[in-house]
Structure 1
C-alpha cells in the first residue's frame, strides 16, 4: 500500500478514535457536534477561519487540524488532553488568533486545536479591585466589563481589543499603562491551569515556579490556562489623549530624535508612543514619513500641557490637540483601528480588527539613535510601497525600569529606553508580492542592527518570529532551543526549561518555538 495513503488512513483512524474517546471520557449534556468539529463537520472550516488574523496562513495549503475542540468547561479541556495523548495527536491552543507565526493553530503533524473562545466569562470584584477572566475572552471584553463596574479602575494590557486574554497575559502583555503599572503579566495574582495529567491547579497548588512561568513565557508551553485572577489599577475619572502627526516637512526627524530622551524619562503618568509609516507626499510621485505621537496621560489636559511645555516644547502641542475622556474611551481611541468617537461597545466585537498579510519583528533600544541613523531609517522606508511599512516605538522607563529582569519571565526591563514593533502589510494574494514585503521587513530589521543590544539581540515572545530560529522536529535540546530562547527570555530561559521539565517532561505541549525540558546537572534550583 502507498505509504502516503497508509499515513492518511492512520490519521483518519486517530481522528475517529479521538472523537469516540472524547465522547466516552466527557460527561456532558451538550451535543458533541457543538464542541468537537472534525474535518467532515460542515462548520470545521468556518471555525478554523473565524479568529485567524494573519492572512499568510489563510491559504488552501495551510495545514488544517484534524479536529477543533471548543470547550465549554474544564472537563472538555481535560478530555481533549487525555484523548490527544492517547491517540497520538498534537494540541495547539488558541485564545484569540493573533499569532504572528500561526503557532497556536498550525502544525505539520496531525493535530487538534483547543480553541478557547467560548470560555470568555469575566467576573469583576470592585470592592477588592480584582477580576477573574477566562482565557477565551478578548482584551476588549475585559476592558468593557471593568468599565461597566467602575470609571476609576482599569487593567494594564494591550492596545488591540480583539487579542485573546490567555495568550496576551501569559506572554507578558504591554500597553498604554506600562510605565505606570507595568505589564499585564505583572498584575496576575492567581490562575486556573490544567496540566498534562488533567489536574486543575491554582497558584497555591501549582507552586511558585510554574506560576512565575505563566506570567510571561506563554502558558501553552506548559499546559492550558483556563483563567487568570488579575489586579485592577487606579485611573482618574478622566484621562487625556492626544494624537498628533508630523511629517518630514514638519521637522519629524528632529522630533523623533528628541522623543528618545523625553518619552522614557517623563512622568510615569504619560505614555507617549510613536507610530511611524511611509505615506504619499503632497508632491506627486514622492513619499514622506508620517510620525504619529499617540499618548495617554493619567490626568487632565491642563497638567499635560504644562508637562509637555516643560519637557517637549518642540512638539508644539496645543489645547486643541488634547481630548479628555474616560479610560474606556481612551482604549477605543488608542487602538487605532476605529474611527474617532466610536462607542466602547465596539470592544465586544471579536472580529473588529482588520485581517491582513503581515510580517512582524521586534527590537529593544538602550541608547538614543542618532539623527543620521534616523535619516538612514527613512531611506529604508522609501523602498517599500506607501502605507506598507510601519514601526511602533513604545517608551519604557517608570515602573518598567524599577522591576528586576527575573521578576517574571519577561526580562526586557531596566536599561531599555523603548521597544520597537517592526511590520510590513500587504493585500495581494501573490507569492512574489509576499516575498518582496517579507524581504523588506527583514532588511529593516538588519538596518537596525547597530542601534540595538547584542548578545543577545532581544525580542518579545508575544511577537513570535521564526526568523530567530525554530526547534527541530521531534525532541529538541535545550542548547538548540537557546538559539531563539535567550532572545525572548535572556537569563530566564534556563529556569523556564527547568519548569518545563517539572510540569511537562515529555514535551507534549510543543510547537516550533516551545521551551524544551531541561534535566540534570547544571540546572538552577527551583522553588526560589
Structure 2
C-alpha cells in the first residue's frame, strides 16, 4: 500500500490546512493522538490544497490511473514514522473511513503515502537489506550498488515500482530462474495489523507471512518494511539483445525458446518483448521480437552455451556487453495518446487470440498486473473465484480467504480485488 488518503480537517487548523468540509472528525482524532500536531499537519494534504494534485500525481506512474474520473482521496497523509501510520489507521477505523490503494472507492477513503518512509539499510556482511515500504526498486538497486558490486536483490526492471506492492504480489525479475521471485527472498517484515499492532515474521506466524508475499499484502494490513536476502552476482554480467521479425524466423525461434529455456543453465535469463513495425520502407506491418538476455558470467562461457543449445538465436561476441549488475530504466508511456489507446485495443484482441494456446481451467493471470476487467464480484465464492482463481488457483485462493478471515475478520483492508470475507465458511459452500 503506497498511500493513506483521508477526508478531514478541523476548523481550528484552517491556517495550516485548507479544509474539506465534513471530515473534521478524522483530523481531530489525529490531532488528539499526536504529540506534535503542528508537525504532522505539514504532512497532510487536503483536496483543496494547491499541493494536493502534485502530491497525488507524483505517485501515479501509469497515466491510466490518473484520469479526471479517477476517484481521489479527500486528504493525503505522508507519515514519517510508524507511530504516525498507527494513529492514522486507528483514526480511520474509529470514524468509519476506508484505507484504499490508488483505485476506486464510493465512500470517503484514506490513503497513506509512504513517500517519507523510504530508508534502505544494507548489511553487506550478512547479505541482507531492510527497506521501508516507500522505497522504489531503483532506489534499492542504487543503494546496494554503492555498498557492493557482488550482491544484488533479484527483483524487477521498472525503477519506479514501489517495493511494498511489488513484493506483496510476488514480484518477478531477471534473476527469476536462479533465485525465484522477489518474495522468495524476503526473510522478515515489519507489518501493522488491523489493530495497529506491529508484527514480524515470528509473531505473525508462517501462514500470514506466506500470504503477504504474493497474496496481496494490502488485503491483510500495512507493510512498513521488508528485510530482504541479497544474492551473490559476479562483478560483471553479460547482456545482449537479438531482434527478429516474422520474416526473419521469429516464430520458429520463439518456439525453440520455449523448449530450450526450461532446461538451460539457470545463470541465463531471456525475456522477449514484442513490437509492431513496418517492413522496410513499406506500409506493410510485421512483428518484431526482441530477445533480451542477461547471463551471470562472461561472454566467453555464454556463447558456447548458446551455440550448443540455442544456435538459432545467433548470439555473437559483437552483440554482447559485459556490465555491472544494474537495470535499464524506462518511462511509462502516456495512456491517453491515440497510439497508446490503439495499443491497448490490440493487446486485448491479441489476448483473446492467444487464449486457446495458454493456461486454462482457469485461465491464469499475474496479480501484480492487476486487471479489473477479470471481475470484481466478491459477494460469494462463486463470484470471487472468477478472478481470484486466475491469480492464485483454487487451493491457494481458498487458503488466502481463510487467513484473511482470521487476521481481518471485519474486512477493513479492502479494495475491488482484495481477498474477500464471506458470511459463511468455505466448508459450508
TM-score (norm 1): 0.74
1:470 aligns with one of 342, 351, 376: 376
1-side partners of 2:304 and 2:222: how far apart? 48
Question: When the two structures are aligned, how many residues end up with a matched partner?
Answer: 410
SS at match of 1:149: coil
1-side partners of 2:279 and 2:266: how far apart? 35
Name the structure 1 match of 2:96: 88
2-side partners of 1:287 and 1:152: how far apart? 44
Correspondence list, 1:17-56, <5 A:
17-28=25-36, 31-56=39-64
Correspondence list, 1:336-415, <5 A:
337=330, 353-357=331-335
1:59 aligns with one of 55, 58, 67: 67
1-side partners of 2:410 and 2:46: how far apart? 27
Name the structure 2 match of 1:450: 356
Name the structure 1 match of 2:121: 123
| Residue 522 (structure 1) shift | 4.7
2:216 aligns with one of 196, 215, 218: 218
SS at match of 1:467: helix
SS at match of 1:276: strand
Name the structure 2 match of 1:489: 392
2-side partners of 1:518 and 1:132: how far apart? 36
2:145 aligns with one of 137, 144, 147: 147
1:506 aligns with one of 410, 416, 420: 410
What do the CA deviations read for 1:340-387 (whole angstroms, capped 9, x no partner)? xxxxxxxxxxxxx33421xxxxxxxxxxxxxxxxxxxxxxxxxxxxxx
SS at match of 1:159: coil
Q: Which runs of 5+ in 2 are unaligned?
A: 1-7, 9-18
1-side partners of 2:425 and 2:108: how far apart? 34
Q: Which runs of 5+ in 1 are unaligned?
A: 1-7, 94-103, 338-352, 358-425
Q: State the superposition RMSD in angstroms.
A: 2.1
| 2:62–2:332 Cα contact (<8 Å) kept | no
| Residue 59 (structure 1) shift | 2.3
| Residue 83 (structure 1) shift | 1.5
| Residue 175 (structure 1) shift | 0.5
1-side partners of 2:377 and 2:78: how far apart? 28
Name the structure 2 match of 1:96: none
TM-score (norm 2): 0.91
1-side partners of 2:37 and 2:46: how far apart? 19
| 1:193–1:201 Cα contact (<8 Å) kept | yes
2-side partners of 1:135 and 1:523: how far apart? 36
